[in-house]
């Protein structure tokens, strides 16, 4: 059996590596080709070209790199057609992945195409499911409520669990050691501040977070603030955080090796009493660490207007959505104001209420305690190929 995998960013590389490990467990000798990063390469993939060439975000970046991306798109399509895999599995990165599936399907209508990570049609732009259906046979979903949306558009959809449930968590001892290493009193409230991983998010949310934290420290002056960041945004984060009160502790991953940086981040998550975070997958990471949270997010004026008009749900926090509760406070768009965020932080710091119950339920529904997501995804791919009863077929 030969499978073609395509990942274009670090999160996709993690999903792809876990999927490869699952496939090799279920089908010893499976041949896997395609595009991926260091984690997929560690599983044996020889990438067609460096994955980083596809890792662009935002309209401006896409336009700037469009000629190179277009060249790589057609190069990848030609390679898929030449390899004739039993399945083409694209992982997230829909701008590239779905165009690739379309090009391949045009030339080879029999090609079995799988897309890993369902688009958020439940939140906005529901028409995306119908648009991708002619080119995608099967979708692998991370969230349990996504399959009906994909199936309604005519695609097979398997919920395979979210990778966050398989990630190691820091122990209580490691959390205590983190406090000791950074001179944080065991009894002091520890606030985790997570203003995003993109430069635009840090620049936009940083001042609002700083103002909210100043109001919290006015009431709880003994509180300490910890700010994990990513290497690519560490200098910007340091510049933004310098204006915050309370001498925040910035966790710069460049100060140690990758394993130590990851361990420090996990320990900080476990040690924190509350987190103020941008919306996104980070809410699930916090839930996995059993850290109560307040979510705040804002975008440019144009993006805010566009998304607000298109939004189909009353919450953007994944813990609220998966647990079918609304226990995590969120302040999005016009509501993302320090004077609203600070009281919510103080309230959660004093009493997290039902957040812990909702976080535990979220982890359960995402697959904690069940078969690892990578293995579930591999099993679903194999079942999808068998159900369709087709390999690559002959190019048209």
Using a 10 angstrom Cβ sphere, with 0-12 exposed, 13-18 middle and 19 or more buried, the burial of residue 120 is: middle
Separation CA 295–CA 18 (nearest Å): 29
Do 150 and 10 share a domain, yes or no? yes
In a domain, 6, yes or no: yes
Tokens of 176: 């205590």
Give pLDDT, residue 9. Answer: 85
335 & 257 share domain = yes
Q: Is 199 domain-assigned?
A: yes
Asked if residue 214 and residue 106 are part of one domain, the reply reads: no
Tokens of 363: 């982890």
The count of residues in the chain is 396
Dihedral pair phi/psi, residue 251, rounded to 5°:
-90, 95
Q: What is the pTM of this model?
A: 0.86
Residues 8 and 133 both lie in one domain: yes
pLDDT of res. 392: 44
Q: What is the structure's pLDDT at 394?
A: 44
Residue 8 within any structural domain of the chain? yes
**Are the C-beta atoms of 292 and 356 separated by less than 8 Å?**
yes
Does residue 32 sit in the same domain as residue 180?
no
Are 292 and 344 found together in one domain?
Answer: yes
Same domain, 361 and 374: no
User: Could you tell me if 337 and 355 lie in one domain?
Assistant: yes
Let me know if residue 394 belongs to a domain: no
Q: What single-letter DSSP state applies at residue 47?
A: B
pLDDT at 67: 83
User: What pLDDT, on the 0 to 100 scale, is given for residue 10?
Assistant: 83
The number of C-alpha atoms within 13 Å of 159 and in the hemisphere containing its C-beta is 13
CB 227 within 8 A of CB 248: yes
Q: Residue 300's pLDDT is what?
A: 56
CATH number at residue 197: 3.40.50.2000
Burial 45-54 (b: 16+ CB within 10 A, else e): bebbeebeeb
Q: What is the CA radius of gyration of the chain?
A: 22
Query: Is residue 76 classed as helix, strand or coil in its secondary structure?
Result: helix
Task: Output the domain CATH number for residue 40.
Answer: 3.40.50.11930
Predicted confidence at residue 209, as pLDDT, reads: 97
353 and 216 in one domain?
A: yes
Rounded CA-CA distance 221/117 in Å is 43
189 shares a domain with 124? no
Nearest-angstrom CA–CA distance, 44 and 69? 25
CB-based burial, 212-239: b 16+ in 10 Å, e otherwise: bbebbbeebeebbbbbbbbeebbeebee
Helices and strands of the chain, counted as H and E runs? 17, 12
| Residues 19 and 34 both lie in one domain | yes
Residue 166 lies in a domain: no
Does residue 86 sit in the same domain as residue 20? Answer: yes
Q: pLDDT tens-digit profile of 346-358? A: 999 999 989 999 9
Domain span at residue 149? Answer: 2-161+370-388
Residue 393 lies in a domain: no
250 falls within a domain = yes
Taking 70 as the pLDDT cut, the residues of the chain under it are: 55-65, 123-124, 299-312, 390-396
The answer as to whether 167 is a domain residue is no
The per-residue pLDDT for 243 is 93
CB-CB contact of 181 with 274 (8 Å)? no
Number of domains in the chain: 2
């Amino acid at each position: 059996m030969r499978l073609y995998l395509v990942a274009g960013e670090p999160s996709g590389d993690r999903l792809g590596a876990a999927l490869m490990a699952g496939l090799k467990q279920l089908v010893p000798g499976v041949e896997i080709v395609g595009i991926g990063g260091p984690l997929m390469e560690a599983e044996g993939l020889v990438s067609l070209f460096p994955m980083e060439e596809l890792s662009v975000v935002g309209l401006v970046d896409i336009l700037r790199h469009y000629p190179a991306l277009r060249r790589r798109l057609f190069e990848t399509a030609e390679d898929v057609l030449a390899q004739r895999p039993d399945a083409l599995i694209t992982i997230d990165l829909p701008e590239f992945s779905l165009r690739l599936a379309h090009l391949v399907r045009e030339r080879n209508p029999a090609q079995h195409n799988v897309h890993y990570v369902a688009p958020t049609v439940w939140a906005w732009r529901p028409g995306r499911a119908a648009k991708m259906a002619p080119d995608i046979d099967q979708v692998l979903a991370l969230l349990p409520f996504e399959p009906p949306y994909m199936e309604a558009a005519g695609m097979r959809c398997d919920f395979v669990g979210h990778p966050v449930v398989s990630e190691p968590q820091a122990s209580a001892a490691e959390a205590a050691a983190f406090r000791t290493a950074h001179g944080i009193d065991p009894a002091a409230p520890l606030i985790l501040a997570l203003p995003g991983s993109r430069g635009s998010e840090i620049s936009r949310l940083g001042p609002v977070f700083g103002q909210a934290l100043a109001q919290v420290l006015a009431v709880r002056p003994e509180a300490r603030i910890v700010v994990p960041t990513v290497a690519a945004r560490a200098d910007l984060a340091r510049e933004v955080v310098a204006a915050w009160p309370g001498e925040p502790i910035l966790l710069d991953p460049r100060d140690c090796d990758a394993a130590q940086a990851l361990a420090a981040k996990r320990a900080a998550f476990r040690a924190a009493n509350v987190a103020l975070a941008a919306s996104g997958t980070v809410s699930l990471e916090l839930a996995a660490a059993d850290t109560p949270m307040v979510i705040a997010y804002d975008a440019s004026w144009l993006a805010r207007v566009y998304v607000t008009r298109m939004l189909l749900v009353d919450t953007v926090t994944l813990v609220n959505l998966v647990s079918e509760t609304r226990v995590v406070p969120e302040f999005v768009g016009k509501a993302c104001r320090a004077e609203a965020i600070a009281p919510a932080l103080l309230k959660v710091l004093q009493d997290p209420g039902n957040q812990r119950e909702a976080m535990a339920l979220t982890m359960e529904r995402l697959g904690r305690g069940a078969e690892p997501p990578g293995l579930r995804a591999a099993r679903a791919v194999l079942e999808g190929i068998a159900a369709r009863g087709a390999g690559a077929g002959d190019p048209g």
